Amino acid sequence: MFTEGTPLPGHAITVNRNVIDKPGTSPAGVTGDEIARPGEASPERLFEFEELYRIHGERMKSIAWNHLGSRSDAEDAVQETFMKMHRSMTTFRRDAQVSTWLYRILLNTCYDMLRRRRVRPDETELEAAGEFPGPRNADDVLRMTLRTLLGQLDARKREVFILAEVEGLSHSEVAAIMGITVSYSKWLLFTTKKELRAMWKVGH
Amino acid sequence: MTDPTGFSCEELDEILEAGMPEDLARVLAHSQHCPLCRDEVVAWSEINRLKSGLHERWESPGLWSRIEKSLVAESAVIQPAAVANVVPILHGGRTASALLRVAAVTLLVAALGGITWWTLSLRPERSAVDEWALEESALENVEKAEQAHLKSIEELQKIVDPRLENATTPLMLSYREKLMLLDSAIAECEGQIRMNRSNAQLRKELLAIYTEKQKTMQQLLKEGRNGHGSAQSDIQ
């Protein structure tokens, strides 16, 4: 489990920046053209993506699962995130962190999938329902309640709670991912927790 | 409600958020005889206990290879398709005529490109000016609305400030801290807006913080009017 404030691993960023951001300066001796071309999955880029997956994959799956409620949908979202990242390498801002960008794409992918689910709800809701494990003990029931309450929150509030409280990201990381200020991230989490407590009291 | 130790129910949110052990001990002692705070503390501790269980972990042994295959497959579709269009022309039986065809197509594309560029180069100047004017007028409207909002907040602040300066009770101190936090958030947000005036998200954030500040000051004044124990003693 990630503890509160666990930083997004930084070395993935430095390792990747050499290959991803500086065409022609790859330590692997790959030419810049090969790397900069957005459509090409060069061995070096695959290696870099695999590193990103190894470091962030578990957290990405968990974030997606908390938005989509289904393991197979969460895995699809992670896959789609890497595909989108690969396609848009040229639009990546060099002053941004790769991990921040990765999580931003992941969240957008989850919202796209939720929108698609609303368009054809029967299919996907049944699939999702089939994957939820049944409650094994009292805590499982309470966790399901908490998850339901999270689902009733405004999207940004849910996002900030999942990123900061469940996944243990710091406010500066949450702010960078969500494109908001650190103070607003703190304020949003404060009001979200207050709202959750109020909802929890009503539910019990 | 304020107990004999000077703890006020209004402090609860800030203390639960900060999570300092000594303050939490005060909250627990207070919640023994305050049912409202007790419910709040129970909800807080249950959510805190359960939230870590929301991090879902499972093995996906085939997921990376699936992603890798998709990445490779996608590049294979993009690249060979482009090559496949060129190779038969260059290596076919009628190389010369094929080369002529390529040259003719290249010339045609270049000519069309030139015409398009010339046409577009005349238009953007005007449309860019129009867009700029539109953007400026929209921004001016937003800024005017913000100024009006800010003015009403300043009026409130004139009444509230002297009262907060002499604050001694925990409730008033907690209001003062909250307003200071909001002021720093406003300053940070305004700083970012100065660098990017047209960022709608930042504008929304600023509006939300302004509204919260206004609400907080109104609450503070209401507390005073309703004669809430310690608050009233500070406000009078």
Nearest residue in B to A179, CA atom: B201
Any A CB within 8 A of B210 CB: no
- Residue in chain B lying closest to A142 (CA): B50
A183 contact B CB<8A: yes
- Tell me what pLDDT residue B154 has: 83
Average pLDDT over residues B105-127: 70
Residue A129: alpha-carbon gap to chain centroid: 22
Question: What value does the mean pLDDT take over residues B207-229?
Answer: 76
pLDDT at B85 over 50: no
* Interface test mutation site (partner A, options B11, B52, B67, B183, max chain A beta carbons within 10 A): B67
> Minimal Cα–Cα distance from B213 to chain A, Å?
12
pLDDT tops 90 at residue B68: yes
In the predicted structure, residue A12 carries a pLDDT above the cut 50 = no
B55 touches chain A (CB under 8 A): yes
Residue-wise pLDDT for A67-115, tens only, equals 998 999 999 999 999 999 988 876 666 666 888 989 999 999 999 999 9
Q: In this structure, which amino acid lies at residue B115?
A: I
**Interval B2-28: pLDDT, tens:** 566 667 788 888 888 777 777 778 888
pLDDT at A32 over 60: no
Q: What's the confidence (pLDDT) of residue B86? A: 37
Q: For B56-75, what is the mean pLDDT?
A: 91
Annotate chain B with three-state secondary structure.
Answer: CECCCCCEHHHHHHHHHHCCHHHHHHHHHHHCCCHHHHHHHHHHHHHHHHHHHHCCCCCCCCHHHHHHHHHHHHHHHHHHHHHHHHHHHHHCCCHHHHHHHHHHHHHHHHHHHHHHHHHHHHHHHHHHHHHHHHHHHHHHHHHHHHHHHHHHHHHHHHHHHHHHHCCCCHHHHHHHHHHHHHHHHHHHHHHHHHHCCCCHHHHHHHHHHHHHHHHHHHHHHHHHHHCCHHHHHHHC
Contact with chain A for residue B105, Cβ under 8 A? no
Q: Do B60 and A75 touch (CB under 8 A)?
A: yes
> What is the pLDDT, as a whole number, of residue A204?
66
Reported ipTM: 0.73
* pLDDT surpassing 90 at residue B63: yes
Judged against a pLDDT cut of 50, whether residue B136 lies above it is answered with yes
Q: Is the pLDDT of residue B212 over 60?
A: yes
Answer whether A17 touches B (CB < 8 Å). no
Q: Is the pLDDT of residue B226 over 70?
A: no
- Give the model's confidence band at A41: pLDDT under 50 very low, under 70 low, under 90 confident, else very high: low
**Span B203-214, mean pLDDT?**
83
B69 vs chain A: nearest CA distance in angstroms?
10
Q: What is the Cα–Cα distance from A151 to A158, expressed in whole angstroms?
A: 7
Rounded to whole angstroms, how far apart are CA atoms A61 and B169?
48
Q: How confident is the model at residue A183 (pLDDT cuts 50, 70, 90)?
A: very high
Q: Which residue has the tokens 């921040």?
A: A100
Query: Minimum mean pLDDT among A161-165, B38-42, B177-181: which range?
Result: B177-181
| pLDDT of B120 strictly over 70 | no
> Higher model confidence: residue A35 or residue B140?
B140
**pTM to 2 decimal places:** 0.57
Q: Which residues of B touch A196 (CB under 8 A)?
A: 43, 47
Please indicate if any CB of chain A lies within 8 Å of the CB of B65: no
CB contact under 8 A, B54 and A162: yes
The predicted structure's pLDDT at residue B236: 44
Rounded to whole angstroms, the Cα distance separating A20 from A44 reads: 9
Residues in chain B within 8 Å Cβ distance of A183: 181, 184-185, 188-189
Number of A/B CB contacts below 8 angstroms equals 131
pLDDT classification of A28: cutoffs 50, 70, 90? very low
Which of A132-141, A193-202, B122-131, B168-177 comes out lowest in average pLDDT?
B122-131
Q: What is the mean pLDDT of residues B142-147?
A: 78
> Amino acid identity of B3?
D
Residue B6's contacts (CB-CB under 8 Å, 6 or more residues apart) are B170
State residue B88's pLDDT score. Answer: 41
Chain A residues 61-80 with a CB less than 8 Å from chain B:
61-62, 65-66, 71, 74-75, 78-79
Q: With beta carbons under 8 A apart, name residues in chain A contacting B209.
A: 184, 187
pLDDT of residue A19: 33
- Average pLDDT score over residue span B23-41: 84
Of B159 and A93, the one with more pLDDT = B159
pLDDT computed for residue A65 by the predictor: 94
Nearest-angstrom CA–CA distance, A8 and A23: 25
Q: With beta carbons under 8 A apart, name residues in chain B contacting A166.
A: 51-52, 54-55
For A:85-144, CB contacts with B below 8 A are 86-87, 139, 142-143
pLDDT averaged over chain A? 76
